[in-house]
Structure 1
């Protein structure tokens, strides 16, 4: 613990430099104690300090209980919280006296805690530093009188409901302070009595000292402003008080020795805020503007690290430079996008592809080609808040490049797509990166496809290189560059991730070329929190400190950072990411998604571990349900967005696939069975479970079990369709269409299994095929089918073409069968 003497100019300057650093990104949170406002004039009295309030309660207790002078003196040795507990217990036991003494307490509070008149200027300045939050231990209304709308929290005194009913109060006692002190910002206590308020805070199992030890770095501090009018300026802070402060987790004691020094300190903090504001207005976005590039030499082995670590391509803040690996190549798809850009044909251009397809490198290629434009680039590990995004969109003549995850679907919809006219008027051009597995975005776009066709265009980034285009020979260019690193050639049959796996197997040891990937054998059935945390990281890429707390994996994440620091690290949030309502000060970031997938897939190799994995998913969804359930019992709509990555089949298969190419189906089936009781009213979950059951049935040889799985799948998709059909959503038609595709595939497998002998089911299948491939206004369902699904469709169409006897069925069924074949084959076919 450091003691900073504010009257020492050197120590003062260093302190204010630290505070300015924390104020700029709003990572410093004040907790205001009674000493800050004590003595301020109120409507009928003055604000008491903790000791004054304690003495008032003791005086009341002496009358209620008939206490002796000695008993009163003993009680004065206790702290305020102990006296308050005794006071309320005494009132409960003396019911005939309760109303009289409660009225006296109310009168005392009215006289001394409300109607606080103007605070001194230094106090007003300190409060007006635009803090993200101010927390107070006071009952008085000084803070809300100075700043409108601030959330005030009083954690230690029982609320008087009668007073709250008739007053505009912001005092809260229902756990907010616990939530706050679990978050990870720096804290400054001012006006907090060491023997009263800190005792009360830390007696509540808030574990701030533990947090201080865990988060022990230069960016995290717990400041305590020490001002004791009874302590002579030349005297040191008593050793026992120093020990007490250190035990409480305080890292920096700011010693002010007079009222004038206290005023000077508060004024200096306000000046720090003013200077930080000027800097923020100028440079908040500057670090993302005008990015430069450099490339490693062709034989620089550091390039190998880029195959495994996302953080290798971070922006170097001092020079605003991104260093590219020696094997960086141009892609055919970027040439097409730039050609369209030059024609000024589209306001928004979207690069989409699977994980490990090179979407980010495509953005870098585009940025280098369009270097003459006023360009802003936002990487995946930055999440912009609405304020900053809207400011960007109002900046004329700009090119904005958003990597995957830097803006949300809601922001794409509400800030960009809904205001295309504004963007065109300001000559703002946008290039987005979207993951191909983002079904939400697909539904959103296709529901508006006809309206957006002239303004928005998609460009698919394949997850493999090709030599198909003779102008840019991707495979040849890549292999020519990788040869200088003595790595194996990329083969046409490989995906990019296949190639990365082959490269890793060819490295003799993990420390080669500064690679230093941690062991993939870190997961254990005995440490399920680590499993849970890794699943969240695999699904989201990052976890904010607040989310880690919500999921109960905050300490687990610290441990993962310690044992696998090269693959997972703790990053502080950029100011442009911090929403006003966020408690998060930093986030945990996966530097190597590849390593996380390898860890999880390795753990999933043992089928006996599947139950632990399913339980981890169950725990995650349970946490989300608890987090987003409203007081009314209804679910906040944010739940559906947050839960989706954890039950989408493609996501689960990709995360746990041994070679990341197809994935096991047994494990997802186990996960869906575990989650079903929690999500049986969620039509999207039911749809995903139905798809899983369908795929699972294809892997089963035993016919009765195969039929059982198809039966479960059909019931799930039938219920899902029924639930979805009753929803009013702009994307619902697209969703219903996909559900019909799944229903058609389930029926196809069922009728095939029964040799097309059940006429009623054959008719049902024809009707659904007709709805999907003929009636639907979405004409891309066929192109979206997986290989097994396309095989099912072709099998059923072959049956219609060769073995279907239309004379056995109603006339309209035969006509529908002809139209289905015509649509699927792209030619006019009439069944005879």
Structure 2
């Protein structure tokens, strides 16, 4: 622990302010002796003396009891005080001395600092009455994480005077030892947030004695929690040897010595103001400013790019392309269209070469400043607004780099972007319903026209000319050649041919228990995990171990300032740099039957941890963004399947079954589970007809349940996003019926007619389209078109009704126009 003067630590604090990595914890010294409505705010010691005198004046205690009372700690004394002093007296003291606090100018200026949020151990109203930090986050209460982004918050760790005196069932106060111990469970959300900040943020204690703070002590137990961050304690006197020992037990790394208390507030305010003047535009770090460097033809230098998806951009934003790198045919088309299209969308399946195409375009545009964001990058709201106002620029976004809100902001700003001679290209997975749904929604509201955007599809198979080009380069690398199959099939085929020839053979991920496996599942699903998410999942020790074992395949990185929001102030993220390596690790792991249950348990663990963060919210309200990625069939299939082919779909069914108890009231979960049953029916086509129909019956039960839940929510909320989900579920129901008709050889007339009706309703919705259906895996072999084609030829012979013929005619027009 260092003892320093303010100016010795100033540069360090400026950097912390700039990175939004300094969070204050305010103690009783901050508001002590400040005037209130009928008195003045006591310190902890003052309050303790008052409680002691009140107890001694009761004549309830013997001399030995009185001696014990005088020796009790604050938390112990508070328990006795609450038990033996009547409520009216206790409440009057609180009202007189903790409400309507007046602060001096120095403290008000301190509260002008743009803190991420403020922790306070005080119950008084000094902060919210004298600053813009008016949104009080109470202890022992469930809160929404996004409140820290939406409002300026003060977090009351030990209670809030207004809540205490207003409500008869008040439970925010945490003074007594019993209340402290009870809060370790009831106050879990706040303690978990504090644990994250204790582990990853720099904390500065102001007006804190740290004499009896059980909650702060709880989160500071692990020494590894404060290896790479600082804890500053501001004080006006140099601590004694025993005081130093005490502060070190709370993880304090620096004692900052001031001449007087007001100097603390003046110094921190001036330091913050200085940090605001020294801004570095980190967005410029994402400019592609150098030409790509093609590596040599050596086998060992090219293998990692092809087999493990090694990134083309290094940490210094230098581009290295493998020897076999080629320009795709689509690249020239996109470049030709840039000048006439403000926004271009490139759709492709996974492993179709979208990232290579993006890099190729980035290096060929020479007349604009090119900004490139990979899927592992995130941009906060403020930085994104600055980015889309950049003149003469090309903005390239890989799949996952933008949120739905940012995509909507971008589309709404299309005219402004065009006016400043800038362009945007978004590279997206073909099945991105968030993006496609948003586009449809904006078109319905006349906020987006078909001519406003230009869409392209990147084929997952190379063209003949592309194969000719790459096969002239691959032989020199000794990676054999590509065949006329998908890129992913080529990668897997070559991987099998080069068995055991792996640069990272010695990089073995830990798979010893469900927690280590859960880290790998989370990374495989999200590609990057911010420190806030790691604390939510309670997997810090596990991810640190995985990173140390497998770097650079799993790497620990600092987040950029523009990634941070008040809701996610993570200074650190853990990034997956080799997707296919991790997929193979997990696929090899489940080859052993006994490991399958560990995979299921890891999903159950992850969802359980994330549900805790929802703090009791009704998950039937579909507020599922926090765990959405883990229940999507496409995501689970991507990890444990091979593109269109499932290695063992029964594992995926087991995962959904394992989550049933947790998510049975979640309509999105039921919808995704229905897709799993549809896929089971498709890939297990060698099974007899009865078994395949049984899968479809299970899918029907799930999809009907999902539909009814979404319908109920929509009826109550009229939320347009819920309507989109409702229509998507209706589409899935239609697909199930199409499969049933096909398996029954279209012999059941009533079944055919009902299917035509449901299918017409689904495809007539602006939230669904046949264009999407043609590429959708559940519409295997275009079972929609098969139904329509068969009934167009045989409908009269089967005797379908007039209404059915009308639906059939409309559906025929829909598919004919695509």
Deviation (angstroms), 1:576? 0.7
Q: Does 1:598 align with 2:590?
A: no
Q: Does 1:279 align with 2:278?
A: yes
The aligned counterpart of 1:208 is 220
Deviation readout 1:332-371 (Å, 9 max, x if unpaired): 22211111113x2x22111222233332222222222223
Q: Which has the larger radius of gyration?
A: 1
User: Which of the residues 188, 193, 199 maps onto 1:180?
Assistant: 193
Deviation (angstroms), 1:416? 1.6
Q: Secondary structure at the match of 2:102?
A: coil
Structure 2 distance, partners of 1:718, 1:6, is 67
Deviation readout 1:402-436 (Å, 9 max, x if unpaired): 222221012211x1223333333344422112222
The aligned counterpart of 1:234 is none
CA contact (8 A) 2:295 2:301 kept: no
Counterpart mapping for 1:81-230 below 5 A: 81-91=75-85, 98-106=86-94, 108-110=96-98, 114-119=100-105, 121=106, 123-150=107-134, 151-156=153-158, 161=163, 163-164=165-166, 175=187, 177-183=190-196, 184-194=200-210, 196-197=211-212, 199-203=213-217, 206-210=218-222, 212-214=223-225, 216-217=227-228, 220-228=229-237
The aligned counterpart of 1:750 is 740
Deviation readout 1:742-779 (Å, 9 max, x if unpaired): 44543344345445443322333454566667999834
Deviation readout 1:187-216 (Å, 9 max, x if unpaired): 12232114x25x44445xx33231x41452
Cα distance change of structure 1 residues 27 and 314 upon mapping to structure 2, 3 Å threshold: farther
Structure 2 distance, partners of 1:177, 1:29, is 14
Q: Secondary structure at the match of 2:451?
A: coil
User: Which of the residues 399, 407, 418 maps onto 2:412?
Assistant: 418
Q: Does 1:55 align with 2:49?
A: yes
- Could you tell which deviates more after superposition, 776-785 or 324-333? 776-785
Q: Does 1:790 align with 2:806?
A: no
Q: Secondary structure at the match of 2:203?
A: strand
Cα distance change of structure 1 residues 269 and 372 upon mapping to structure 2, 3 Å threshold: farther
RMSD: 3.8
Q: Secondary structure at the match of 2:58?
A: helix
The aligned counterpart of 1:548 is 534
Counterpart mapping for 1:530-549 below 5 A: 530-549=516-535
The aligned counterpart of 1:697 is 681
Deviation readout 1:238-276 (Å, 9 max, x if unpaired): 3333333333222x12252x525x666654443432232
Q: Secondary structure at the match of 2:319?
A: strand
The aligned counterpart of 1:613 is 599
Q: Does 1:433 align with 2:434?
A: no
Q: Secondary structure at the match of 2:437?
A: helix
Structure 2 distance, partners of 1:459, 1:165, is 59
Structure 2 distance, partners of 1:83, 1:188, is 28
Q: Secondary structure at the match of 2:362?
A: helix
Q: Secondary structure at the match of 1:431?
A: strand
Cα distance change of structure 1 residues 144 and 822 upon mapping to structure 2, 3 Å threshold: closer
- Listed as ranges, the gaps of 5+ residues in structure 1 are 92-97, 232-236, 469-473, 828-832
Q: Secondary structure at the match of 1:285?
A: helix
Cα distance change of structure 1 residues 209 and 819 upon mapping to structure 2, 3 Å threshold: closer
CA contact (8 A) 1:226 1:253 kept: no
Structure 2 distance, partners of 1:779, 1:658, is 25
Structure 1 distance, partners of 2:703, 2:289, is 48
CA contact (8 A) 1:30 1:189 kept: yes
Cα distance change of structure 1 residues 177 and 623 upon mapping to structure 2, 3 Å threshold: closer
Structure 1 distance, partners of 2:582, 2:455, is 29
Q: Secondary structure at the match of 1:135?
A: strand
CA contact (8 A) 2:675 2:699 kept: yes
Cα distance change of structure 1 residues 763 and 34 upon mapping to structure 2, 3 Å threshold: closer
Deviation readout 1:454-476 (Å, 9 max, x if unpaired): 011222233343334xxxxx334
Deviation (angstroms), 1:137? 1.9
Cα distance change of structure 1 residues 753 and 458 upon mapping to structure 2, 3 Å threshold: closer
Structure 2 distance, partners of 1:314, 1:475, is 24
Structure 1 distance, partners of 2:803, 2:120, is 74
TM-score (norm 2): 0.83
Q: Does 1:478 align with 2:438?
A: no
Deviation readout 1:677-736 (Å, 9 max, x if unpaired): 554555444343333223323426244433332222233334444555664565778766
Counterpart mapping for 1:186-335 below 5 A: 186-194=202-210, 196-197=211-212, 199-203=213-217, 206-210=218-222, 212-214=223-225, 216-217=227-228, 220-228=229-237, 237-250=239-252, 252-256=253-257, 259=259, 267-280=266-279, 282-289=280-287, 291-299=289-297, 301-307=300-306, 312-314=311-313, 316-317=315-316, 321-335=318-332
Cα distance change of structure 1 residues 81 and 790 upon mapping to structure 2, 3 Å threshold: same
TM-score (norm 1): 0.82
Cα distance change of structure 1 residues 87 and 583 upon mapping to structure 2, 3 Å threshold: farther
User: Which of the residues 451, 455, 462 maps onto 1:458?
Assistant: 455
Structure 2 distance, partners of 1:764, 1:659, is 33
Cα distance change of structure 1 residues 278 and 307 upon mapping to structure 2, 3 Å threshold: farther
Cα distance change of structure 1 residues 516 and 192 upon mapping to structure 2, 3 Å threshold: farther
- Listed as ranges, the gaps of 5+ residues in structure 2 are 135-152, 175-182
